[in-house]
Amino acid sequence: MPVLYFIRHGETDWNREGRLQGQTETSLNARGRRQAAIAGAHLSAVAAADGVADLAALPFHASPMARTRETVEIIRAGLGLPPDGYTTDARLKEIRFGAWEGRRWADIRDREPGRARARNRDRWRFEPPDGESYAAMLDRVSAWLGSVREDLCVVAHGGTARVLMVALAGVPPEEAAHREIWQGKVLRLSAHGAEWLPDAGHA
């Protein structure tokens, strides 16, 4: 099985405001762009420590959403690589939050307490109104993973990371659904587990 160097997109204004983004298009803010640059420097150090001699030969895959494309292009430019030298795949998109996209968790808990409690009871299988569950998302992400034949860097979303933890690293679903997914760091995913690598600095 391959090793994936996973990087979550940098911060957006909706991240800062605690809004659910899902598959709504948003852009990085200034802090998010700094986080992307930090993640690139971190990837360089991590890959070198793992024996990746030539980052130019490491494939980069990304979600096609604006915030992930901006992140991967900042990373690649910082590494001295052509910014557009990556592949996008719609199967790497964030989980769909449906009618909840653009809303804050605090608002959802206040206005829809029953659904909020249902999600807390089973975060892996819960489906927001017109949205999808992590369990459903697993099917599309696993189909992408089945096409991967070599180690690569993937730039995507928090939900994508949680599902890859289950599909590749064997993390139990209920545990993965509650894991913190950092921005500005590198997560190494393999059949041996999921490991956030030593921090290279945080913005």
Q: Is residue 110 part of a domain?
A: yes
Length of the chain: 203
Query: Which pairs from 129-134 meet CB under 8 Å and 24+ separation?
Result: 129/98, 129/99, 129/100, 130/96, 130/98, 130/99, 131/22, 131/95, 131/96, 131/97, 131/98, 131/99, 131/100, 132/95, 132/96, 132/98, 133/95, 134/95, 134/159, 134/162, 134/163, 134/173, 134/176, 134/177
Q: Which pLDDT does position 95 carry in this prediction?
A: 98
Q: Is residue 201 part of a domain?
A: no
Q: Is residue 30 part of a domain?
A: yes
- pTM of the shown model: 0.95
Which helix (DSSP H) or strand (DSSP E) does residue 196 occupy? strand 193-196
Q: Determine the 3-state secondary structure of 35 from DSSP.
A: helix
Which helix (DSSP H) or strand (DSSP E) does residue 43 occupy? helix 30-49
Angle at Cα 201 formed by Cα 93 and Cα 1, nearest 5°? 45
**Structural domain boundaries, residue 55:** 4-196
Q: Residue 200: pLDDT above 60?
A: no
- Total domain count, the chain: 1
- Give the residue from 169, 170, 162 showing the smallest Cα distance to 124: 162
Contact 98, 129 (CB under 8 A): yes
Q: Is residue 159 part of a domain?
A: yes
Residue 14 maps to which CATH number?
A: 3.40.50.1240
Q: Which pLDDT does position 53 carry in this prediction?
A: 86
Per-residue confidence at 135, pLDDT binned at 50, 70, 90?
A: very high
Q: Is residue 202 part of a domain?
A: no
Q: Is residue 76 part of a domain?
A: yes
Residue-wise pLDDT for 20-63, tens only, equals: 999 999 999 999 999 999 999 999 999 999 999 899 999 999 99
Q: Is residue 119 part of a domain?
A: yes
Q: Is residue 84 part of a domain?
A: yes
CA distances from 64 to 33, 106, 156, 157, 196 (A): 17, 29, 9, 11, 24
